[in-house]
Amino acid sequence: MKILITGAAGNLGGQLCRRLADQHQVADADIVGDVSHKLDITDYQACRGLIDAMRPDIVLHPAAWTDVNGCALDPDKALRVNGVGTQHLASITGGRGIPLLYVSTNEVFDGALDRAYSEYDRANPINAYGYSKWYGERAVAQLNPRHYIVRSAWLFAHGGRNFIHAIRQAAKDGKPLRVVTNEVANPTYTSDLAQAIVQLIETERYGTYHLVNEGAVSRWQFARFVLDASGFANTPIERISRHEWPRPSLPPEYAALANHAGASIEIVLRPWRDAVRAFLEAEAAP
């Protein structure tokens, strides 16, 4: 297949490129990084030019402005990139019958349920990032019938800055650790998510999917598990409430995702603890 991947310099986009490059003809595109196609998804003509020149069999679209606090401070830019940029890709691919896979987020939900969100639960974003991603979801659903919307959560990847790296670094530096107890989601290894996406695009079972490592956990429990598994079992972590950690973008409180649609076609990611252990082993490998 000819596959166009947006956000290819990012954590998930890079992982998708590496996984698919062996068996497919992959075009990697991003606004930054060492990629073969510089592409700003807010530029409609540039998106159309690249898609028409390449005629991909599918477009995978993880590109996004993922700085959630930046999105809260500049909601217009969030909508321009995550919403309207996605709309461009949806209308171009939809008009040409090209399938589109859009990566979205658990932050399209408000976090007010006391159970994990299913694919059929109603989105109700409570911050600018979540709203911009939800706008992108609606554009994809309305403009391209051959779409996959893949929601995920709390991604961790090798190389990139993420929660696991930050917690371990703070423990190494002997810094006092304070972590929120009342924010819950599913820590998800980009490598597992990329593998699940590769499986999904072979199925042509279009629709909305919640692809996360199995199990939900609070930020505090996640941090505790990481330190225990990294040789820092004696490092204390103070438990704090989310209101003691003010940020421009407050995430939903209980934003765990349940994978029903993927499970029905046997696409299930391993439990998050196994994924974190595998990640830590890979980080420790020479």
Ligand X SMILES: NC(=O)c1ccc[n+]([C@@H]2O[C@H](COP(=O)([O-])OP(=O)(O)OC[C@H]3O[C@@H](n4cnc5c(N)ncnc54)[C@H](OP(=O)(O)O)[C@@H]3O)[C@@H](O)[C@H]2O)c1
Site membership for ligand X, residue 64 (CB under 6 A): yes
Q: Catalytic one among 117, 129, 131, 135? A: 129
The DSSP-derived string for 98-159 is --EEEEEEGGGS-S-SSSPBPTTSPP---SHHHHHHHHHHHHHHHH-SSEEEEEE-SEE-SS
Containing H/E element for 38? strand 37-38
Of 66 and 218, which CB lies nearer to ligand X in the complex structure? 66
CB nearer to ligand X: pick between 13 and 252: 13
Q: Which of 117, 148, 154, 220 binds ligand X (CB under 6 A)?
A: 154
The distance of closest approach from Cβ of residue 151 to ligand X in the complex, given in angstroms and rounded to an integer, is 7
Provide, for the chain, the percentages of residues in helix, strand and coil under a 3-state DSSP scheme, each rounded to the nearest 5.
Answer: 40, 20, 40
- Only one of the segments 10-18, 169-177, 221-229, 242-250 lies at the binding site for ligand X (rule: CB under 6 A); that segment is 10-18
Give min distance, CB of 104 to ligand X, in A: 6
| Phi, psi (degrees; rounded to nearest 5) at 136 | -60, -45
Binding of residue 94 to ligand X (CB under 6 A) = no
Task: Report how far residue 224's alpha carbon sits from residue 274's, in angstroms, rounded to the nearest whole number.
Answer: 15
Q: Shortest approach of ligand X to residue 270 CB, angstroms?
A: 18
- How far apart are alpha carbons 21 and 27 in whole angstroms? 9
With contacts defined by CB under 6 A, name the span among 58-66, 170-178, 223-231, 267-275 that binds ligand X. 58-66
Does 40 sit near ligand X (CB under 6 A)?
Answer: yes
Binding ligand X by CB under 6 A: which of 51, 58, 126, 155? 155
The Cα–Cα gap between 246 and 29 comes to 35
Question: Applying CB under 6 A, does 90 fall inside the site for ligand X?
Answer: no
Size of the residue set binding ligand X (CB under 6 A): 29
- How remote is the C-alpha of 96 from its chain's centroid? 26
Helices in 2-155 by DSSP H: which ranges? 11-20, 44-54, 68-73, 75-78, 86-96, 128-143
Give me 79's structure tokens.
Answer: 């909508």
Q: Which is nearer to ligand X, 2 or 37 (CB)?
A: 37
Q: Which residues of 194-221 are buried (b: 16+ CB within 10 A; e: fewer)?
A: bbbbbebbeeeebebbbbbbbbbbbbbb
Nearer to ligand X, 101 or 235 (CB): 101
CB of 92 to ligand X, least distance (A): 14
- Residue 129 annotated among the catalytic residues of the structure: yes
Nearer to ligand X, 38 or 96 (CB): 38
Q: Considering the rule CB under 6 A, would residue 256 count as an interface residue with ligand X?
A: no
Query: Which one of residues 5, 10, 177, 259 is an interface residue with ligand X (CB under 6 A)?
Result: 10
Chain residue at closest Cβ approach to ligand X: 10
What is the binding site for ligand X (CB under 6 A)? 6-7, 9-13, 30-32, 39-42, 62-66, 81, 85, 103, 105, 133, 152-155, 160
| Active-site residue set | 129
